[in-house]
Amino acid sequence: MKTVVLISLAVIVIAALATYATFLLLKLRKQRFALAEIEKQKQRNQLDKDIGVLSSIILISKAVNQKQCEISEGCWRLSVLIESLPSLSAQFKNQYPAIFKLYESINHMPILEKRNALTKQERLKLDLQRMGIEQELEGSVLSAIAELEPHAISVKESLQEKLT
């Protein structure tokens, strides 16, 4: 009789432990699935952001190519945008060094309110310095920007395909 009770108790304990283990495994599976969904959503959000940045890069490249935007302003904006692409910035920097060379040559110059706070002579001096740098790098920068536009379009299209 004692043996039957002990065996019955053992079966109940084992069944309870098995049920609890199954519950924990199902809970773990659900958590892993939720984490995977969160990661997928993060990747989709990053792709959306990158596509938006690439759209801006394309727009600015067109503006510079069509002489609707000064070369230095275009390089400044393009550099900042490219640096905001975590997975692509190194590739773009290596492919289009002229853009970053111009940016690095002028990024110390004040803009907006800080520029307006300067005297006319100081602004003129900086403008002359900037124009000299632009003139020196114009050919290589325009060539780089001309190549950048179709490349950015291609990269944008490939990212859009990943979203679908």
Q: pLDDT tens digit string along 126-163?
A: 999 999 999 999 999 999 999 999 999 999 999 999 98
pTM beyond 0.75 = yes
**Mean pLDDT value across residues 14-35:** 97
Q: In the predicted model, is pLDDT for residue 102 greater than 90?
A: yes
Mean per-residue pLDDT of the chain: 95
**Mean pLDDT value across residues 112-126:** 92
Pairwise CA distance, residues 3 & 54, whole Å: 75
Q: State which H helix or E strand residue 37 sits in.
A: helix 2-65
Residue linked to tokens 């920097």: 93
The three-class DSSP label of residue 110 is coil
Q: In the predicted model, is pLDDT for residue 11 greater than 90?
A: yes
Q: Is the dihedral of CA 109, 113, 116, 122 positive or negative?
A: negative
pLDDT at 1: 80
> How far apart, in Å, do the first and last CA atoms of the chain sit?
67
DSSP one-letter string for 111-141: -HHHHHTS-HHHHHHHHHHHHHHHHHHHHHH
Pairwise CA distance, residues 71 & 139, whole Å: 10
Backbone angles phi, psi at 139, to 5 degrees: -60, -50
Backbone angles phi, psi at 68, to 5 degrees: -95, -5
